Amino acid sequence: MSCQTEYIFSDTFEVTDDVKRAFDETGYILLKDVLDKDELSKVEHTLTGSDAITKHMYLDTHDGDRRTDKVMWSFPGNDVTGMVARSEKIAGTMEKLLGGEVYHYHTKLMMKDAGTGARSVWHQDYGYWYLYGNLFPDMGTVFIALDPCTRDNSCLQVLRGSHKCGRLDHHRVIGQMGCDEERTQQIKEQCQLEYIEMDAGDALYFHCNLIHSSSDNTSTKRRWAFLTAYNRASNNPTIDRPHPQYTKLHKVSNSAIKSCTNYTDMEGKRFMNPGYKTILPNS
Ligand SMILES: O=C(O)CCC(=O)C(=O)O
């Protein structure tokens, strides 16, 4: 079924019934211009102006000569990146798309550098969130492009509507949790493969069962992305690791991103230890 999935953010943007229907049908919506140039530059400054965040970086994927580095944390905190994760336009929009109160599950910075960034294999986020005691797939991620994301530099790829397939079996591929390959191949014959090309500041809101991947970054351009993940408050996981159980999310107005001048104080965040890999409950 063909339906609109691309919208442009403005102060009057709302998750109307049509927007919600698009999300329910396809498993995602692309909202353009969610962060403007000033907001992006504040986020960039927070990420690179000091080592307050990057000192928590660890190797996420190692695949031959290729690598993806990552920083990941629970609890959004009060710095600029926390304001983004707590803002109405990011958290509040996801709340409406998921149909009820959400809390912050985690944020991660995915660093796919020019020429060296490693691919992400086909997977569903709920493929592993399931293992963390989340009983319902009432979860979602907002992928915010910090750089232009194109087919050349590893934009996200999604199988449109694949969230309706339910959770697939996953196993380890290049250190990641990847969907059963035969099943994914079969789903590709039914669900359109979409390359989600984005400008910096655009945001893709997607359902935790949407099957997605990205290629190696063989281009000359950096591809960093800032991903905030949310869980419905009603879906309190049975275990509290590696991500938190329900913790009220104190949302802020969109203007809080621009008025925030905290670039270095990361108090309140809980960073994943370097060396963390996807943890299975019994490992
Ligand atoms: O950054 C990417 O290309 C993919 C990230 C992703 O799919 C994930 O972390 O779940």
Question: For 65-88, how does the pLDDT look when each residue is reduced to its tens digit (9 = 90+)?
Answer: 898 899 999 999 999 999 999 999
* pTM (predicted TM-score): 0.96
More confident residue, 160 or 278: 160
Distance CA 160, CA 239 (A): 31
The reported pLDDT for the residue numbered 275 is 60
Q: Is the pLDDT of residue 280 over 50?
A: no
Instruction: Tabulate helix, strand, coil % of the chain (nearest 5).
Output: 25, 30, 45
Task: Go through the domains of the chain in sequence order and give each one's CATH number.
Answer: 6-271 (2.60.120.620)
- The best mutation among 120, 139, 159, 221 to test binding of ligand 1, ranked by most ligand atoms within 8 Å of the C-beta, falls on 120
Ligand 1 neighbour 176 (Cβ under 6 A): no
26 close to ligand 1 (CB < 6 Angstrom): no
Q: What is the pLDDT of residues 159-199, one digit of tens each?
A: 999 999 999 999 998 888 999 999 999 999 999 999 999 99
Gap between the Cα atoms of 188 and 212, Å rounded: 11
* Choice from 70, 211, 214 to test ligand 1 binding pocket (greatest atom count within 8 A of CB): 214
Mean of all residue pLDDT scores within the chain: 95
